[in-house]
Amino acid sequence: MKAAILKTLNAPLSIEQMPDPSAGTGEVIVDVVAAPVLSYAKEVFSGERRYPIELPIVPGCGAIGRVRTIGPDATHLQTGDWVFCDPTVRSRDDALMPDIVLQGWSARGEGGNQLQRYFHDGPFAEQIRVPTENAVPIGAIDPADAARWCALNTLLVPYGGLLASDLRAGEILLVSGATGNFGSACVAVALAMGARCVVAPGRNAQALEDLARRFGERVRTVLLSGDEATDRERMQRAAPGPIDCVMDLMPPSVPATTVRAAVMAVRPYGRVVLMGGVGMLGGAGLELPYPWIMRNDITLRGKWMYPTQAVTLMTGLIRGGLLQLGHFDVTTFALDDANEAVAYAAANGGPFRMTVICPAR
């Protein structure tokens, strides 16, 4: 099969032939139809983002494809089924504390590194081998729509946080980082789940205007000033009632004070979910006052990625017409043009924008 291979950091992907993968027990081979190119892929491949990957590797993170071969223990999948190749691979020998990797993308810890050495290569190729449970059926689709279904890759991350938050229909959500790639997706998903209103703060006035245009009065935008107390008051005033839940999706470059302004806008007995990156690049972490958390009975939790059932549930939101993939603008590239795709994604990232590699193109 043909694949794009990262052999060394800070070097172009090499487009060449490599052996087809083969499926064993608990594995599925999928013909890749569309694979998203993350906007920061260039930073990973250059080594600027110090991701713990072992080279050479066929990179990528998630894909839409059709089942080519199933292992002997598969009982529902059939050859030709359309599936989402979930990149979140979990070890199977510890249900309580599984090691988790993003196939073709990153790993953490020795257990994660060991898992990644086996489920190593990602979807920048004509075929990919994935664990059976990671080939999740999405139902029949028009092949021309496969690239747009790659939006699952973005939508699922905030969906995992929203499931963890126990967001209920009719509640008010605040999305910290609403003008970013994952934050804007979080707004769309929360509305699809029945949120009464989503408070969307941010510094990018144009992106805030776009959110208001797309989703109407159920989104209340707040232009941030940079002053913690002022911004918190503005967010609370923008909401039509007490804020039930706060979802933080801020990137590592954002000051902790910006995150705290949003987190502490939540009502007493409210919930906060942290999925962002504050402190990951050094600098101050997120300081929250112990008395405020305790006396106001605040539920605070972290969340990374999403549970295994999330793909099926999100597919239901899309099939039911509650979540529109049409929000996403998609630019596609052939596998031979993978390096151009990586450069394009870096220069054209942002809310509701996707770059996709289509190996069969």
For residue range 132-187, what is the model confidence (pLDDT) as tens digits?
999 999 999 999 999 999 999 999 999 999 999 999 999 999 999 999 999 999 99
Calculate mean pLDDT across residues 57-80: 96
pLDDT at residue 281 is higher than 80: no
Domains and CATH numbers, the chain: 2-151+328-358 (3.90.180.10), 156-302 (3.90.180.10)
Against a cut of 0.85, is the pTM above it? yes
Q: Which tokens is 228 given?
A: 């913690």
Which parts of the chain are beta strand (E)? 2-5, 14-17, 27-37, 63-70, 82-85, 88-90, 100-102, 127-131, 135-137, 172-176, 197-202, 219-223, 245-248, 271-274, 299-302, 329-334, 353-358
For residue range 17-65, what is the model confidence (pLDDT) as tens digits?
999 999 999 999 999 999 999 999 999 999 998 888 899 999 999 999 9
Cis amide leading into 98 (omega within 30): no
Give the pLDDT band of residue 282 (cuts 50, 70, 90).
confident
- Any alpha helices (H) in the chain, and if so which ranges? 41-46, 109-118, 146-149, 152-165, 181-192, 205-215, 228-238, 256-263, 290-295, 310-319, 338-347
For residue range 90-117, what is the model confidence (pLDDT) as tens digits?
999 999 999 999 999 999 899 999 999 9
The C-alpha atoms of residue 309 and residue 102 are separated, in whole angstroms, by: 17
For residue range 174-197, what is the model confidence (pLDDT) as tens digits?
999 999 999 999 999 999 999 999
The pLDDT score that the predictor gives to residue 280 is 79
- How confident is the prediction for the chain on average, in pLDDT? 96
